[in-house]
Amino acid sequence: MSERAVLHVKGRILVGPDEVRDELWVVGGRISYDRPAAARDVATVEGWVLPGLVDAHCHVGLDQHGPVPAETAEKQALTDRDAGALLLRDAGSPSDTRWIDDRDDLPKIIRAGRHIARTRRYIRNYAWEIEPDDLVAYVAQEARRGDGWVKLVGDWIDRDLGDLSACWPRGAVEAAIAEAHRLGARVTAHCFAEDSLRDLVEAGIDCVEHATGLTDETIPLFAERGVAIVPTLVNIATFPSLAAGGKAKFPRWSAHMRRLHERRYDTVRSAYDAGVPVFVGTDAGGSLAHGLAADEVAELTRAGIPPVEALSAGTWAARAWLGRPGLDEGAPADLVVYAADPRADVRVLTDPRHVVLNGRVVG
């Protein structure tokens, strides 16, 4: 398509779960529901249309060993794009990926800065590793560097204990979260286990990643405070292999990880039933491949979330939560076209017919 081309999108435009239109136009890279007056160079695509999928937990510029070269980060972003994920929340990366913002052929990224972890309590080469007295200063630093989010490591294995345990004292997280909010940033935290959750929520955290440690005691607290979770079920599926690898050295941790995995679907469904906001995220970019947002939507349905709600968790609701538009008048034309109705069968998401980013057909 030329710079002046108009894209005509026909079929069923899923503006929202229950709002469907028959067509839209893309003019100057933006959505219009009015036919342009003197359109000459018109291209047409047809099908079932969603706003670009959201992966609300991934890591561009990171692999299992740490930061990666720009060309690898580019491949990661392209993999997400070609799978239809056009809005990414990067939940912690040591790499500077701001150059991606200058590329109109790559997904839009909302960054949470670099992970902030306790000393020797996270994956090597990923995080700033600090002690509690420095937490407020590092949160302020990452709040200024990120795009409105800060990422803490809320729990990790304590080698002396031989199991997962909370990384931060209550007073430290209260002060840190307050500072992030003062600077206009929201805070999220990696949490696998149970014991860090109450302190983080009562300290004012906005979101918890994974949240496998939710219980009947903490789920109502999350619902009451409106704290979101991003379960990353495609990543939680790796828990049994992780547990097997660490069983000899840390049998208590290994058994704990297996329990968290076994109840994962019940945990997510209980949170959803209680009214906890649930969003799609994959944890891609560590040891997990990019391009799995559709698989995560399917995992949410396996947990018992209704298909349309699981779809919304990776499209309409997720975009609203992150403060980004969907298929709105005047919004950037970031959309995905499918051959069939994804509300009827979310497996449709794995096979996009067309991917449109900033008004251009890129896949």
Query: Residue 72: helix, strand or coil by DSSP?
Result: helix
What mean pLDDT do residues 248-257 have?
Answer: 98
In a 10 Å sphere around its CB, with 0-12 CB exposed, 13-18 middle and 19+ buried, how is residue 69 labelled? exposed
Report the pLDDT value the prediction gives residue 112, as an integer from 0 to 100. 98
Task: State the pLDDT confidence band at 4, using cuts at 50, 70 and 90.
Answer: low
Do 127 and 167 touch, CB atoms closer than 8 A? Answer: no
Q: pLDDT of 106-130, one tens digit each?
A: 999 999 999 999 999 999 999 999 9
Task: Provide CB contacts within 8 A for 108, sequence distance 6+.
Answer: 86, 87, 88, 101, 324, 334
Q: Using CA atoms in the order 158, 162, 163, 166, what is the torsion angle rounded to 10 degrees?
A: -20
Separation of alpha carbons 341 and 311, rounded Å:
11
Task: Provide CB contacts within 8 A for 346, sequence distance 6+.
Answer: 294, 297, 298, 301, 307, 310, 311
Q: pLDDT of 79-95, one tens digit each?
A: 999 999 999 999 999 99
Q: pLDDT of 42-73, one tens digit each?
A: 899 999 999 999 999 999 999 999 999 999 99
Query: Residue 332: helix, strand or coil by DSSP?
Result: strand
In a 10 Å sphere around its CB, with 0-12 CB exposed, 13-18 middle and 19+ buried, how is residue 79 labelled? middle
Percent of the chain past pLDDT 70, that is, above it, reads: 99
Kind plus residue range of the DSSP H or E element containing 126: none
Flag whether the pTM goes above 0.95: yes
Q: Give the DSSP letter of residue 239.
A: H
Q: pLDDT of 345-361, one tens digit each?
A: 999 999 999 999 999 99
* End-to-end C-alpha distance for the chain, whole angstroms: 13
Q: pLDDT of 155-174, one tens digit each?
A: 999 999 999 999 999 999 99
- Whether the pLDDT of residue 3 is over 50: the answer is no
Do 116 and 152 touch, CB atoms closer than 8 A? Answer: yes
